[in-house]
């Protein structure tokens, strides 16, 4: 396949560099991937930029949960979009819905102005919107470059029928980027089926903390999440995915 996109979502310098070594063409930079990703700090961005020239798209998501934001949250989102533009990020990843599940076109329009000069991805808010076809057409009208989607399902395998339809509706105006559950095997199966050329994956593995002393019974967050397990991108998983893309 020519002109493919292989994006890796990362939330650490270590993962960013592993993704680059594995052959990712760009990063979606996040914090807190364990809860689906939130906005990363400017300092994380700056440290990765010191180490690598890889293209970086920053996720702008002020909190865990839904995509219906208060006025205060929206103001924070706007400031963060502008900040990453000033820092030199090549893109931002955003999405806002109204309470009725439709795309908040007015607010998205303001964010498009704030993101002028950057590539814009509509993130998986798209996957919980009420009408994906309408939202896709609105995204085109707004000038959004990419929609990251699993086809409105928990993973890309379950959403493959909608993904195929959405790719057929790109019309050269927008790119459908397949996400959720993507690995080398998913690309091998879904690439030819959906005709998509853009894929998004974490390539994550769980590594053990360097801590040797481990205090029991004290949790810093949710008790179901171990304090001593860390998610990292595995460069070999990224490399395997890239090899499949190159050979499609």
- What residues pair up with 149 in beta bridges, in sequence order? 178
Span of 96-100, 127-131, 184-188, 212-216 with lowest mean pLDDT: 212-216
pLDDT tens digit sequence for 160-184: 999 999 999 999 999 999 999 999 9
**Helices of type H across 88-131:** 105-114
Mean pLDDT of 45-74: 98
Span of 50-54, 142-146, 223-227 with lowest mean pLDDT: 223-227
Q: Is 176 exposed, middle or buried (0-12, 13-18, 19+ CB in 10 A)?
A: buried
- What residues pair up with 175 in beta bridges, in sequence order? 146
Whether 116 shows a pLDDT value over 80: the answer reads yes
d(CA 158, CA 36): 19
Location of structure tokens 């996109």: 5
Cβ distance 25 to 7 under 8 Å?
A: yes
pLDDT of residue 202: 96
pLDDT > 70: percent of the chain: 99
Cβ distance 179 to 127 under 8 Å?
A: no
- What residues pair up with 54 in beta bridges, in sequence order? none
d(CA 121, CA 29): 12
Average pLDDT, rounded, for the chain: 96
E strands, the chain, are 5-10, 26-29, 55-59, 91-94, 119-122, 146-149, 175-178, 198-201, 204-208, 229-233
Location of structure tokens 């979009």: 81
Half-sphere exposure for 11 (CA within 13 Å, toward CB): 19
pLDDT of residue 226: 80
Mean pLDDT of 19-23: 98
pLDDT of residue 248: 93
Collapse the DSSP code of 171 into the 3-class scheme (helix H, G, I; strand E, B; otherwise coil) and give the result: coil
Whether 219 shows a pLDDT value over 80: the answer reads no
Whether 220 shows a pLDDT value over 80: the answer reads no
Task: Enter the pTM of the model.
Answer: 0.94
Backbone angles phi, psi at 105, to 5 degrees: -65, -40
DSSP 31: B
pLDDT of residue 79: 98
């Amino acid at each position: 396949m020519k002109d493919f996109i292989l994006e890796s979502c990362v939330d650490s310098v270590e993962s960013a560099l592993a993704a680059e070594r594995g052959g990712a063409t760009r990063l979606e930079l996040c914090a807190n991937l364990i809860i689906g990703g939130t906005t990363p700090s400017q300092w994380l961005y700056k440290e990765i930029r010191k180490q690598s020239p890889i293209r970086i798209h920053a996720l702008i998501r002020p909190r865990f949960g839904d995509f219906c934001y208060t006025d205060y949250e929206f103001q924070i989102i706007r400031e963060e979009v502008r900040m990453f533009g000033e820092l030199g990020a090549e893109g931002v990843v955003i999405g806002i819905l109204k309470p009725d599940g439709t795309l908040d076109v007015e607010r998205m329009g303001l964010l498009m102005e704030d993101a002028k000069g950057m590539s814009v991805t509509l993130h998986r808010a798209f996957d919980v919107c009420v009408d994906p076809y309408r939202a896709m057409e609105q995204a085109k009208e707004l000038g959004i470059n990419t929609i990251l989607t699993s086809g409105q399902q928990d993973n890309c395998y379950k959403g493959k029928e909608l993904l195929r339809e959405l790719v057929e509706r790109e019309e050269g105006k927008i790119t459908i980027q397949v996400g959720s559950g993507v690995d080398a095997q998913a690309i091998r199966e879904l690439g030819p089926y959906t005709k998509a050329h853009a894929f998004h994956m974490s390539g994550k593995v769980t590594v053990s903390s360097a801590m040797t002393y481990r205090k029991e019974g004290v949790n810093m967050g949710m008790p179901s999440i171990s304090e001593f397990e860390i998610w990292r991108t595995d460069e070999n998983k990224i490399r395997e995915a890239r090899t499949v893309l190159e050979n499609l």
